[in-house]
Amino acid sequence: MAEVVMRIWRGDSEGGEFQDFPTQVSEGEVVLDVVHRIQAEDAPDLACRWNCKAGKCGSCSAEINGLPHLMCMTRMDTLPTEEPVVIAPMKTFPIIRDLVTDVSFNYEMARRLPPFAPKEPGPDGTYRMQQIDVERGQEFRKCIECFMCQDICHVIRDHEENKEHYAGPRLFIRYMELESHPLDTNDRRELLREEMGLGYCNITKCCTEVCPEHIKITDNAIIPLKERVVDASYDPVAWLGRKILRRTKKTATEAANYRTDPKTVKASQ
Amino acid sequence: MAEYEQIDFDVVVIGAGGAGLRAAIEAKQRGLRAAIVCKSLLGKAHTVMAEGGAAAAMGNVWSEDNWKVHFRDTIRGGKMLGNWRMAQLHAQESPDRIHELEAWGALFDRTNDGRIHQRDFGGHRYARLAHVGDRTGLELIRTLQQRAVALDIDVFMETKILRLLKNPSGEVSGAVGYHRPTGKMMVFTAKSFVLATGGIGRSWKYSTNSWESTGDGHALALWAGADLIDMECLQFHPTGMVWPLSVRGLLVTEGVRGDGGILRNSEGQRFMFNYIPEVFAAETADNEAEADRWYEDHINNRRPPELLPRDEVARSINAEVKAGRGGPHGGVYLDIASRRSSEFIQRQLPSMYHQFKELAGVDITKEAMEVGPTCHYIMGGIRVEPDTAASTVPGLFAAGEVAGGLHGANRLGGNSLSDLLVFGRRAGMGASDYAESRTSVTTVDSTEIERIIDEARAPLAREGGENPYDLQRDLQETMQNLVGIIRTGSELTQALSEIDALKERVPNVSVNGGIAYNPGWNLATDLPSMLSVCTMVTMGAIERKESRGGHTRDDFPKADPALGKINFVQRINGSGECVVTPEPLPEMPDELKALLEEGAH
């Protein structure tokens, strides 16, 4: 048992302040356990999100002592207890209440992403893919959408105005996942350059450092995406290849306009 | 007068796990105005916690596999209590549902010839679980979520439904709820509704379930007059974490055993060989050498006893611990470290590796995990018509964990994810058919809406009452201690009176703070569902005087063949009382019965 003060931000979009909760910590507890105990005993209206309590759903993201963490995966015994443990909501998103923020920016950016456009399946109606070819995409599909990479990214953390035209690391790994997907046929490279602000990222790797799934966001997604976008726009060899193959690169608008039409989808029997 | 926003759709789906998403996708693909209403953010539903995989007899690893074997395994694993038609549809349609996910972007692990890889799991004769490492639920929910976004389905996130509304002719026509971030009251009207709200595990102290699993759908259906069946059939997963206390109950995937992990007691004995039941003796290895050979050769060897169905393994662990052969924290040892290479473990079970390393400080590639049973899944649920997923109330459909029937008295691992897909789609079809042919009005009674809203808001206005968290804690203690893995008549009766006493305390619950994102108030509005559902589980458990699957009675330790042909139907009768009525199981056709008779190979 250790004595510790939890300093938790309380308030809403109008403003607020930190409130101290002195508490006892038992062996093996994580930050979320302590927050739950405060809820149950002292402040039933203390707002926080959580679901799985096992690092799998990405709901309980917060800034613990100044850095984004999942509250359910941060053990109390890894934090200094001489000073209060400071828990604040993610800064990049508007506050709803206490530790809960409005993360709808991320859902909006997901909505603006041109969806998966698969090629035709094989003669038996199924697809063949090799393990080595799916592994790149699988790394990005480990993402639990905690949005901590979005929170730490200075492009939107310090510049609200960039949110209009910057998809952010969470979505960049989704673009890279589709870019490397063995079955996808859409070409979103111009869209990434023109409307999703890929160029704003100056590869400081903050996103990679906070990723609870240890996805190499910068090295395996953002940098390769930047290379592919540059190739698409300026590489003379690629340009020549397109000429010879008479294949035109999709413009941002063409990529964006690819939508799934529910009526034309082959009804699955 | 209470203010609320009213929105109209063709089909409204309540719940955004696998079943809810799949149902909404089906309705939207049909061109209907479909909406999803869910208690958390999109993509956070409990489906993300599913680890091992989705069972589907694709025959990619063992070409001997087919739907008939899957059907047989499901019915036998469910201790003959399952609905034959649901089990048939499930076994026949699962492969298509998995392939469909690939066409929507899912990336499953592959076989050497580029097909979907399948892993071994308890109770399945062949390696049958399509998977992505041990994070299959995440893959499934993300794929469906991205499909739903691509189809532009309306999603009302963080919205809790309090009650369903019927029109004067008795068809479900509306749902009243509130938006958690703002507290704004909402009324959804639609031609049909699909309940896909998942499970009830929140009412037990040690559970794999999240806060959302408060049985809302079971209760909404019950209050609307629908039948539930076999609510006493509750699955305790054999392997939950036991230490540290803060993570007690957290799921340890069956994939650990499917990939070679074994169970030992404190004396180092591989004890599962002592607990092989007669019914599975012909297909279970009785010595370690044969069990170990099975991983490479399923045809000439019988399966290890660690891969018996979950109810058998959970009871065995319980018995070992009771006999004093447990570990220091009241569990037994699950060992894969001494059986497989570190690389293999980290590739096949990355999230287990992660979970133990970060939460318990245990490296599962070097040491054994200490594990014990934890409340995991309810087999019972809303009674549905198998082909359409229609409940017994017109306009109301149900799919996934909230629906009963498919899994009988015990669910096989991996059958849940495929259940979500098969019956999520069927519920979407059933609800769409209903919506398209419905001619009656979806008028709802504003007086009733106001009454529901006033009742929900009452704890905010009350002062000096009870803390809702205290009620939740007391309910969890009652259910854990008295309606747990091993039950007995006197304790069940005591549980029922304790639940009744808790119900008396509900009208005195008060919460401070405002209506916007107030977890205390949110919990206060969950309590009525939790208490209604716990009543039904307990009443069913009292009535079923036998031990079958997930329902074990100390005072009736054997299965009763007569009760094996009975569903306990649970409903609220005309005078508002909860009643339990035995009804015969639908009779299985002879050609399907013949499938059950076949030998072990």
Nearest chain A CA: its distance from B314 CA (Å): 22
CATH number, residue B298? 3.90.700.10
Count of the separate structural domains present in chain B: 2
Based on the domain organization, do A82 and A193 belong to the same domain? no
Based on the domain organization, do A94 and A72 belong to the same domain? yes
Based on the domain organization, do A110 and A198 belong to the same domain? yes
Tell me, what's the pLDDT at A268?
Answer: 38
Nearest chain A CA: its distance from B569 CA (Å): 31
Whether residue B596 lies inside any domain: the answer is no
Based on the domain organization, do A83 and A112 belong to the same domain? no
The three-class DSSP label of residue A179 is helix
Active-site residue (options: B70, B237, B264, B544): B237
Examine the fold and report which residue of B347, B373, B399 is the final residue of a domain before the chain moves on: B373
Compute the distance between CA of residue B215 and CA of residue A21 in angstroms, rounded to an integer. 32
Examine the fold and report which residue of A49, A81, A101 is the final residue of a domain before the chain moves on: A101
**ipTM beyond cut 0.85:** yes
Residue B237 is a catalytic residue: yes
Based on the domain organization, do A15 and A80 belong to the same domain? yes
Interface of B with A in 536-595 (CB under 8 A): none
* B524-542 residue pLDDT tens: 999 999 999 999 999 999 9
Active-site residue (options: B257, B298, B376, B383): B257
Considering only CB atoms, B355 lies closest to which of A55, A127, A131, namely A55
Rounded to an integer, the average pLDDT of B44-68 is 95
Examine the fold and report which residue of A55, A71, A101 is the final residue of a domain before the chain moves on: A101
Based on the domain organization, do B361 and B467 belong to the same domain? no
* B540-556 residue pLDDT tens: 999 999 999 999 999 99
Based on the domain organization, do A81 and A187 belong to the same domain? no
Whether residue A58 lies inside any domain: the answer is yes
Write the DSSP string, B28-81: HHTT--EEEE-SS-TT-SGGGG--S-EE----SS-TT--HHHHHHHHHHHTTT-
User: Between chains, do A44 and B469 touch, taking CB under 8 Å as contact?
Assistant: yes
Residue A152 lies in domain: 104-257
Examine the fold and report which residue of A45, A72, A101 is the final residue of a domain before the chain moves on: A101
Contact B45, B118 (CB under 8 A): no
Whether residue A124 lies inside any domain: the answer is yes
With a CB cutoff of 8 Å and minimum separation 6, the contacts of B455 are none
Whether residue A269 lies inside any domain: the answer is no
* B40-51 residue pLDDT tens: 999 999 999 998
Whether residue B500 lies inside any domain: the answer is yes
Based on the domain organization, do A115 and A242 belong to the same domain? yes
Based on the domain organization, do A117 and A247 belong to the same domain? yes
Residue B131 is a catalytic residue: no
Name which of B40, B42, B48, B433 to mutate to probe chain A: the one with the most chain A Cβ atoms within 10 A of its Cβ.
B48
Regions in chain A scoring below 70 on pLDDT: 245-248, 259-269
Interface of B with A in 385-414 (CB under 8 A): none
Based on the domain organization, do A92 and A116 belong to the same domain? no
Residue in chain B closest to A39 (alpha carbons) equals B520
User: Between chains, do B149 and A110 touch, taking CB under 8 Å as contact?
Assistant: yes
Considering only CB atoms, B44 lies closest to which of A59, A75, A98, namely A59
Considering only CB atoms, B519 lies closest to which of A39, A127, A265, namely A39
Whether residue B355 lies inside any domain: the answer is yes
Residues in chain A: 269
Based on the domain organization, do A135 and A59 belong to the same domain? no
Contact B221, B393 (CB under 8 A): yes
Whether residue B200 lies inside any domain: the answer is no
Q: Is B433 on the interface with A (CB under 8 A)?
A: no
User: DSSP code of A218?
Assistant: I
Residue B541 lies in domain: 457-558
Nearest chain B CA: its distance from A100 CA (Å): 8
Q: Is B513 on the interface with A (CB under 8 A)?
A: yes
Whether residue A119 lies inside any domain: the answer is yes
Identity of the residue numbered A109? M
Whether residue B368 lies inside any domain: the answer is yes
Contact B380, B231 (CB under 8 A): yes
Based on the domain organization, do B369 and B463 belong to the same domain? no
Task: Determine phi and psi for B535, rounding to 5 degrees.
Answer: -60, -45
- Percent of chain B, pLDDT > 70? 99
CATH number, residue A35? 3.10.20.30
Write the DSSP string, B171-240: -EEEEEEEETTT--EEEEEEEEEEE-----GGGSSSBS--TT-S-HHHHHHHHTT--EE-TT-EEEEEEE
Based on the domain organization, do A244 and A132 belong to the same domain? yes
Based on the domain organization, do A171 and A148 belong to the same domain? yes
Name which of B26, B28, B44 to mutate to probe chain A: the one with the most chain A Cβ atoms within 10 A of its Cβ.
B44
Rounded to an integer, the average pLDDT of B219-246 is 95
Count of the separate structural domains present in chain A: 2
Preceding omega of B244 cis (within 30 degrees of 0): yes
Is 90 exceeded by the pLDDT of residue B149?
yes
Residue in chain A closest to B143 (alpha carbons) equals A141
